Homo-oligomer: A and B are copies of this chain.
Amino acid sequence: MRIRDEKKEEIVRQKALELLVKLGFDGFSMQKLAKAAGVSPATLYIYYKDKEDLILKIGEEVGERMVKATFEGFHQEMDLKTGLWLQWTNRANFHLNHYLETQFYEQLKLTPYKDKLAENITAKFSQEMGGFMKNAVKNGETVRMKPEVFWSVAFAPLYNLIKFHIAGKSMGGAPYQLSEQDMKAAFDIVIKGIKK
């Protein structure tokens, strides 16, 4: 039997990301994707059940890569500051090197597709963070708080800086580019707030 062309599949994924980000979810279509990837529309239905399946599968793949990158070199026994900074740099690097993936995934998580996304991605996050936080409390590095609160004060500032960076502009439409200096400035404030 004929063998599936993995390269072709990869092009489809890449072009799908490009088009979804460039045209938005509404501007995107299967025919445009087929044309951009240089395949027949029917081929897309060999790789994916339908359009929703395509978007969700690509979304889940991106999510998994992001989680993996975030926890590269991380273990729950790290002290608060070290572990947090590792995740900050991991995450920032991923976003800066995977512009399209980030842009796409952030959108996806706000659309109705989010309800159909597999939950193993956030589950992994939750589990790693839970253990890390528990440890930090045990060691007297911080006080007990809900995971949602911890997450929000510990990571949201970084994600927001990345969001500014991705948009290319920030407050008042001013150009903005994320720098390590800004990351460090934000991190100092965050860790100061979290540390007991």
Please give the residue numbers on chain A whose beta carbons come within 8 Å of chain B beta carbons, in ascending order. 22-28, 103, 106-107, 109-114, 119, 122-123, 125-127, 129, 145-149, 151-153, 155-161, 164, 167, 170-174, 176, 182, 185-186, 189-194
Contacts and interface: CB of A to CB of B under 8 A. Distances in A.
A153 B189 contact: yes
20 contacts: A24-B113, A26-B28, A103-B110, A107-B107, A119-B172, A122-B171, A125-B172, A126-B172, A127-B172, A129-B171, A148-B161, A148-B182, A151-B160, A152-B156, A152-B161, A153-B190, A155-B160, A156-B157, A157-B157, A191-B193
A103 B114 CA distance: 13
Contact of A170 (B23, B147, B155): B147
B123 A173 contact: yes
Contact of A148 (B127, B153, B171): B171
B172 A122 contact: yes
Given A152-B157, A152-B161, 10 more contacts: A23-B112, A24-B112, A26-B111, A125-B171, A146-B182, A152-B160, A156-B160, A189-B193, A191-B193, A192-B192
Tell me which of A122, A156, A176 has the highest count of chain B C-beta atoms within 10 A of its own C-beta. A156
- Give the number of copies in the complex: 2
Contacts of A156: 152, 156-157, 159-160
A73 to B, nearest CB: 21
A95 to B, nearest CB: 14
A96 to B, nearest CB: 16
A26 B32 CA distance: 14
A107 B112 contact: no
B149 A171 contact: no
A29 to B, nearest CB: 9
Contact of A164 (B106, B148, B167): B148
